[in-house]
Structure 1
Amino acid sequence: MLAAQEQPAPGQIGLHTIRLAVGDLGLQPPLPRKARKKAVPAISETLWPAGRRIQVDATRFSLGDGVCWAYLVLDVETRTLLHIHVVRSLSASSAVTALHTGLKVLRDLGICGQVLVMTDGGSDFTSAAFQAACQEVGSWVRAKVSQKGGMGILERANRTLKYEFVFREDFATMQELRDGTVRFRDWYNQVRLHSALGYACPWAKLLEAAKSRNAA
């Protein structure tokens, strides 16, 4: 029984009192809860760092052989899909691979300046590995779908991938999806006319941008 000076007021039993009672019964006291990792806040677009804007996001697919994810990497200025990286599960290493592969397309065209990498607040993007990769090429910012120039741009590409391609195909495996996204990327970049570009193709705009930068 608790000593008189240890008796809590009615309705005020605290964690310390519970631990004492549990100890008297010979039971293991409950472990303290781990501190919840604070979400990285999105900042106003007026405060975004300078740099060519590159957006990265992942979208989920459920196929016959299980769930998989597709990381999309998009150049905001030209709306070009630089890379689609299909993997079995989300991870920091997959996010880094997707980013590096997408940026290589720009580098191969001679576009080598600093970039601003934009993502949501997923743990793969806020990981130390992905943050380090962003610092190597420029900077990173968490952006919202609702922000002007924010993740809504890539979200529209995600919807096009889902509703105009994947949901119309009979993909049974992750490998089939991986192979199919190559066809989608080529169609999206070189055939589909984009209203935000004055109904031009993203790849044509990217080549124009590369030619302009290389001529400067």
Structure 2
Amino acid sequence: MKQELMEAIEAAPFSALQACKVLGLSADRFYRWRTRESLVDKPPIAKLSPHKLLEEEKEEIVSYSLEHPEQRHRELWYNLAREEKVHVSPSSVYRVLKSEDLVPPHVFGKPRRDKVKPDPKAPHEDWMIDITYIPIQAVDWYLIVLLDVYSRYIVGWELLSSMTWREIQQVVDFAIEDWGFRDSAKKPRLHNDNGSQLKAKKLRQWLRELGVLQDFSRPKVPEDLAILERFMRTVKQEEVYPGEYPDQYEARDGIGRFIGYYNHRRPHQSLGYVTPYDMLIGRAEEVIQQRKKKHISAQQRRKEINRRMAD
């Protein structure tokens, strides 16, 4: 093909530049062919990227993914680094999983309407509380969850057979005591929906006497409590529905283990891929910087190994 083009350009009754334009060929390429390059077509030579993942890293990612099929690529990336197995980027983990057909389909929710949400600057400025149904042997129990908005940490929860304002009071009261706010002048602001238990006159009076400001979401706008709604959906999808608890004791144990995992081991994208506990105790930036250092070190090692393989 090159030879035919060269002959056509050189035999043209006008300049080589004009001939190249007619043939749709770059003039630079034509002159390179004529002066420096062989006319024999050669297969392209694959270049070895110094940052290409090592086979051992790919194998570790695949193996860990198969052991933890419930985790998506960002959570796998976080835990692989936390457990000192592999230090790569989230996108690298995704590419490896995709090449092995290990990326689960993503289920998109309905688009959310504009919402007004709390914007705390420190832990325990704002708490959210909500209630959801937990099926146990065809009977609905009630999971009450109290979440710290700043850190996403679950600061209180309970699984109960009934749902009245007194159960709400019990969960809040325990959390106030556990986190040392009983005698504090400044207590967390409580965000909740418009459920009848949360609007009960006796509960509202008790909260006022306790010194807790109660903030209600807009009617029929669950997005106002999106952070806690997301947790409720997660605990059901990943723990409750696959569990099929035989009784409330097994349910309480399973949900308790999941909350422990959620608080201390599950990274959050909105938190910069650190855990709620990291945010709660103020070490999020330290964790992020340590991760960056380990990632750079792993990059350097990968680069050196790939270069040795290329030599």
Band the TM-score falls in, shorter-chain normalisation:
0.5 to 0.7
Question: 1:52 is aligned with what amino acid?
Answer: E
Alignment partner of 1:202 is 2:273 = no
Cα RMSD for the two superposed structures: 2.8
CA deviation string 1:164-190 (max 9, x = no partner)? 111121312122212222111110000
Alignment partner of 1:178 is 2:257 = no
Higher relative contact order (CA 8 A, sep 6+): 1
Equivalent residue for 1:106? Answer: 179
For 1:132 and 1:142, the matched residues in 2 are separated by 15
Q: 1:102, CA displacement in angstroms?
A: 2.6
Which of 68, 72, 84 pairs up with 2:145? 72
Equivalent residue for 2:228? Answer: 154
Which of 119, 141, 156 pairs up with 1:83? 156
Number of residues of Structure 1 aligned to a counterpart in Structure 2: 162
- Aligned partners of 2:222 and 2:229 also within 8 Å: no
What secondary structure is seen at the aligned counterpart in 1 of 2:244?
Answer: coil
Give structure 1 regions of 4+ aligned residues with deviation exceeding 6 angstroms: none
For 1:168 and 1:105, the matched residues in 2 are separated by 31
Q: 1:128, CA displacement in angstroms?
A: 2.2
Q: 1:65, CA displacement in angstroms?
A: 6.1
- Aligned partners of 2:187 and 2:211 also within 8 Å: yes
Question: 1:156 is aligned with what amino acid?
Answer: R
Gaps in structure 2 of 5+ consecutive residues: 1-114, 284-311
Question: 1:178 is aligned with what amino acid?
Answer: R
Equivalent residue for 1:142? Answer: 216
- Aligned partners of 1:84 and 1:181 also within 8 Å: no
For 1:46 and 1:70, the matched residues in 2 are separated by 23
What secondary structure is seen at the aligned counterpart in 2 of 1:208?
Answer: coil
Gaps in structure 1 of 5+ consecutive residues: 1-43, 210-216
TM-score by length of 2: 0.47
Name the CA shift for 1:97/1:165 in 2 (closer, same or farther; >3 Å): same
Question: 1:194 is aligned with what amino acid?
Answer: H
| Bigger radius of gyration among the two | 2
Q: 1:55, CA displacement in angstroms?
A: 0.5
Higher percent of residues as strand: 1
CA deviation string 1:56-97 (max 9, x = no partner)? 000002211621010010000110011221001211110111
- Among the aligned pairs, what percent are the same residue? 21
* Counterpart mapping for 1:1-216 below 5 A: 45=116, 52-64=125-137, 66-107=139-180, 113-135=186-208, 136-144=210-218, 146=221, 150-208=224-282
